[in-house]
């Protein structure tokens, strides 16, 4: 039963993290593959590829971030709050990239 729940939760996380894909695809035209860059942060051994364990660990970390009350479950409210947080983060990151492309310089400096 626990295996089925974990599998369902991980599948749900895969679906939940698919929404930033459209945002990342938008920036490919600017030479930035944000989705790949984000996922490659999980490449702990630095071999340029994600192993099954690295991928699963990345999703477990995402689950832990979303599980605000640390009860081992993600409620609808926790999911909504996590999505708000990530949408805000991706919007801010996207704006910085667009500004950098327009000006040809880093706007953070």
Under 8 Å between Cβ of 25 and 17: no
The pLDDT, as a whole number, for residue 79 is 95
The pLDDT, as a whole number, for residue 8 is 67
The pLDDT, as a whole number, for residue 40 is 86
pTM assigned to the model: 0.52
| pLDDT tens-place string over residues 66-78 | 999 999 999 999 9
What are the DSSP calls for 67-85, one per residue?
-TT-SS---HHHHHHHHHH
Give the start-to-end residue ranges of the domains of the chain. Answer: 2-102
Ranges of the chain with pLDDT below 70:
1-2, 4-35, 96-98, 100-109
């Amino acid at each position: 039963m626990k295996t089925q729940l974990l599998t369902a939760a991980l599948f749900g996380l895969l679906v939940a993290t698919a929404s930033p894909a459209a945002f990342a695809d938008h920036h490919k035209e600017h030479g930035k593959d944000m989705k790949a860059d984000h996922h490659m942060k999980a490449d702990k051994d630095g071999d340029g590829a994600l192993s099954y364990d690295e991928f699963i660990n990345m999703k477990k970390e995402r689950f832990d971030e979303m599980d605000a009350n640390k009860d081992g479950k993600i409620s609808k409210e926790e999911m909504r709050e996590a999505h708000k947080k990530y949408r805000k983060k991706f919007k801010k990151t996207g704006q910085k990239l667009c500004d950098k492309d327009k000006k040809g310089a880093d706007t953070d400096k």
